Structure 1
């Protein structure tokens, strides 16, 4: 019997199911995590032997306490029912700053201090102050660079993807992938227009958006999403929902994308034909759709492939890489996904890998299925990207190489 099964006492009466230690611990993560994010850098920068003159330590400590209090309050106000964009910007920025300070306080607070001690540099106070200035300097550089990385138009990442079942007539088909645009509290309407112009310069046959269009409802973020209506493709523009749509009236986003000329592939497919050969382009709702309670929304691969010739190659759009297990079981040739942001702010990618089978790039799953995971076109929450650059992806589909003559 598992912990989730109903346990019974010796007399047969039902007892409440036991909770595992991990489940109990996870209940306290929302409380513990913010405290650690602010307390650790406060301790490393101000209270580990620096002996700062007054009023440096008390004023610095007060600033860290202010950050600890302000971050959850502004995030709750910004992303809760009120959805106040200014509060969201403050809260999200504080989260990014805290994460970078925490990361480098831990790394430099240990490694640099050990290196300085091993080489005999200065006394304890001198070494502590070197660590403080190193952490502040590294954090300032990374936050400045990370902000510029998050706000720029993504670079184009191009790669050839060879599919053994792809017909020769489809060789060279150009598929452009954008995903995780996350239009949100920071108005990025101009950025959106520039992204779409970059997409249009790539001469795509098929343009795909694999979800997480925005944080907020379609009515609230319409102006930022409107440039998507200018995207051009010679064959089709297709879209599937991401998990963030299900936080913000997903059907409204499906309707808006349809209005903008995109084909919402909600557990269905279309056929892309060229040179006498055919590619099945299918899409599924995000894996969180069913739990959203929105009628008719769920990830249903069998429905997406219903009526398709099983001998034809299949290109599948699914927001989360974790769907690839189902795709491989059905013999899908290529799945396109986003969701991970490539970790967005290093070293968060280690936590992403706990939940997802791939972080970024091309990977193989099973005997036939390839998965391409984009690092995303925009950013979520903190307006920073550190060692996880955004991308617009151009995938050129290739048919099998002809056999070489003996």
Structure 2
């Protein structure tokens, strides 16, 4: 029921923003006056592609090429909508220009050309960024009570599925190994497909080089495809699955992990902080893996020094991050949540939906835990 509701809501929203983009931007461009019918039908085709995408999203029977094409249309729609809003906004001062026909005509022509170039640049840059390999981001985080330095590589939101496959996962693992980390953590949304379709796409996880092991918690997307079977499969690849439990790592830190917040919505395997922290050693610093940063809303005085999260994609397409912040307390980077708890949110290595990123580059993060001096 949730999936169906989400699909219909997404279709309704995309249909409305496509209508707005056409009526308030594309139709008002004098440059397109002679091809208005073509533009109108192009927007209708884009909307139909998006309808197909969301109706078959969870049926897993859409050809990968069509899946990539249809999902790309979502990115185009959103970016056109943003430009259309700007177009409307800048029309306010334009409407106040004195009524000299030739002057207004010239200014409108310059304005239209400028906005069209902006739209094309915005869309082109977004797709070019989306196709780039994840960058390496390095962050130093000082932890109270840490006895010796520790390096952690965090990968999250890889979204292996119809668009990103085995070769992408293999490349991510190569980048991770080059960082020579003490430990590797995977904070959810690793895959976007059922276990019976994974095949060898995740096999390179076996090749991760990490002195203290590889650790994983599921994200919301794993719940769409059978979270238990996915966790079992990941475990067979030599990865420790922290499903509401913890481990002591090298007598240095407690590493705990919780199930995803979407477990509450599905009424199945919700996050359980108390259970996850039940066996931690209070004298050691505690690192918590949680796919969604809003796990902080579940906290009630627990001693957690650092939370590592993903989920937000850093907004993926600016300014979509402003909407993400309506649901999540943190978007991207390091935050001081409370006196004793820091939160780090990664943009993620992959993408969901359109292969588009604007002002939120994909990343693999090397976190250097440092001893905090008194």
Task: Mark yes or no: TM-score above 0.5.
Answer: yes
Scaled by the length of structure 2, the TM-score of the pair is: 0.90
Mapped to 2, the partners of 1:191 and 1:310 lie a distance apart of 39
Counterpart of 2:281 in structure 1 is: 309
| 1:46-99, Cα deviation, whole Å (9 max, x unpaired) | 433728553x11221121122222321233224446454343222211110010
Asked whether the 8 Å contact 1:325–1:365 carries over to 2, the reply is no
The count of aligned residue pairs is 368
382, 387, 406: which one aligns with 2:359? 387
Mapped to 1, the partners of 2:354 and 2:244 lie a distance apart of 32
74, 91, 94: which one aligns with 2:73? 94
Counterpart of 1:104 in structure 2 is: 83
56, 61, 68: which one aligns with 2:40? 61
Asked whether the 8 Å contact 2:11–2:54 carries over to 1, the reply is no
242, 250, 256: which one aligns with 1:282? 256
Greater relative contact order (Cα < 8 A, sep 6+)? 2
Cα displacement (A) at 1:127: 4.0
The answer to whether 1:256 aligns with 2:228 is no
Counterpart of 1:149 in structure 2 is: 129
Counterpart of 1:374 in structure 2 is: 346
| 1:265-302, Cα deviation, whole Å (9 max, x unpaired) | 011111112xxx521001011111244355xx221111
203, 210, 216: which one aligns with 1:233? 210
* RMSD between superposed Cα atoms in Å: 2.5
Partner secondary structure for residue 362 of structure 1: strand
Counterpart of 1:38 in structure 2 is: 18
Mapped to 1, the partners of 2:297 and 2:226 lie a distance apart of 28
73, 76, 94: which one aligns with 2:55? 76
Partner secondary structure for residue 198 of structure 2: helix
The answer to whether 1:332 aligns with 2:311 is no
Mapped to 2, the partners of 1:164 and 1:45 lie a distance apart of 54
Identify unmatched segments of 5+ residues in structure 1: 1-25
Asked whether the 8 Å contact 2:259–2:272 carries over to 1, the reply is yes
| 1:11-32, Cα deviation, whole Å (9 max, x unpaired) | xxxxxxxxxxxxxxx9985454
Mapped to 2, the partners of 1:176 and 1:316 lie a distance apart of 14
Residues 198 and 30 of structure 1, relative CA distance in 2, 3 Å threshold: closer
Residues 353 and 60 of structure 1, relative CA distance in 2, 3 Å threshold: same
The answer to whether 1:114 aligns with 2:93 is yes
Cα displacement (A) at 1:303: 1.1
Counterpart of 2:196 in structure 1 is: 219
Bigger CA drift: 108-117 or 189-198? 108-117
| 1:233-276, Cα deviation, whole Å (9 max, x unpaired) | 10010000100000011122111211111100011111112xxx
Counterpart of 1:4 in structure 2 is: none
Partner secondary structure for residue 174 of structure 2: helix
Asked whether the 8 Å contact 1:217–1:253 carries over to 2, the reply is yes
Counterpart of 2:116 in structure 1 is: 136
Cα displacement (A) at 1:388: 0.8
Partner secondary structure for residue 92 of structure 1: helix
Cα displacement (A) at 1:162: 0.5
| 1:371-405, Cα deviation, whole Å (9 max, x unpaired) | 0011111100011001111111111111122x5xx
Scaled by the length of structure 1, the TM-score of the pair is: 0.83
Cα displacement (A) at 1:166: 1.3
Mapped to 2, the partners of 1:287 and 1:145 lie a distance apart of 33
Asked whether the 8 Å contact 1:178–1:210 carries over to 2, the reply is yes
